[in-house]
């Protein structure tokens, strides 16, 4: 299967930190979890894959990618206008954009709040709105940075269900997370970053059951500094 996104020879320096990724691929319909302790380069990698940072070396190829940060920005407009914003930027007529947005808001459980100001939403509702706005523009690759980090279990479960649906629809999903249980629930493959390097990559079940690298094992056991 042709990858939805491919990175080769990727490098980026920020101060004393340097990220180097020799090769990374994610296929349509796949959920790839990016794991690693804080400061390992997860966010930097996602921003490079999204084209929000310019690499010092290497290249990223593939389909249209959309990046969702941990705290997604919302416009000071209604929930409906926020959801339809990406479509309007692409020239979709307002009535059609709103029709599509209303359908997806119903799917993410926000139909009853479509006309209220977006800033009144809870944290979990705001993430679901941002995800709906992203899905409406039909990206081929979703890049998500800790999307459920500040959410309660019920809201986190709703977001995870949306990510599963996105993968089932053929989108590639790259998920940076500190939640190992979430990675176990969602991911088919895992990339483990440490100090800006890919230490281990492979099938998720095998990674969690029998990691090859001692640093991976130490991370899973909470012993990695």
Three-state DSSP at 27 gives coil
Calpha distance 127→12 (Å, rounded):
28
Provide the b/e sequence for 194-210 (b: ≥16 CB within 10 Å). Answer: bebbbbbbeebeebbee
Calpha distance 46→124 (Å, rounded):
22
Higher pLDDT, 199 or 70: 199
Show the tokens assigned to 69. 């940060």
Summarize the confidence of residues 80-94 as an average pLDDT. Answer: 92
The answer to whether 97 touches 84, Cβ cutoff 8 Å, is yes
Q: What is the pLDDT of residues 44-73, one digit of tens each?
A: 999 999 999 999 999 999 989 999 998 888
pLDDT in the model for residue 28: 96
Q: What's the pTM value of the predicted model, to 2 decimals?
A: 0.91
Three-state DSSP at 152 gives coil
Domain architecture of the chain: domains with CATH: 5-71+141-220 (3.40.50.300), 79-120 (no CATH)
CA 205 to chain CA centroid, Å, is 20
pLDDT in the model for residue 73: 87
């Amino acid at each position: 299967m042709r990858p939805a996104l491919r990175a080769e020879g990727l490098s980026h320096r920020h101060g004393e930190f340097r990220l180097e990724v020799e090769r990374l691929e994610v296929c349509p319909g796949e959920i790839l979890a990016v794991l690693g302790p804080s400061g390992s380069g997860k966010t930097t990698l996602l921003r490079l894959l999204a084209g929000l940072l310019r690499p010092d070396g290497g290249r990223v190829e593939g389909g249209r990618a959309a990046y969702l940060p941990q705290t997604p920005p919302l416009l000071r407009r209604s929930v409906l206008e926020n959801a339809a914003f990406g479509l309007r930027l692409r020239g979709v007529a307002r009535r059609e954009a709103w029709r599509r947005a209303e359908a997806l808001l119903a799917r993410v459980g926000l139909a009853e709040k479509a006309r209220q100001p977006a800033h009144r939403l809870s944290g979990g509702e705001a993430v679901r709105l941002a995800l709906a706005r992203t899905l409406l523009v039909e990206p081929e690759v979703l890049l998500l940075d800790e999307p459920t980090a500040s959410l309660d279990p019920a809201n986190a479960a709703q977001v995870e269900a949306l990510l599963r649906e996105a993968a089932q629809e053929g989108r590639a999903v790259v998920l940076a997370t500190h939640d190992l249980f979430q990675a176990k629930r969602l991911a088919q493959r895992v990339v483990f970053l440490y100090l800006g390097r890919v230490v281990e990559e492979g099938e998720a079940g095998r990674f969690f059951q029998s990691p090859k690298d001692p640093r991976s094992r130490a991370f899973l056991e909470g012993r990695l500094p």
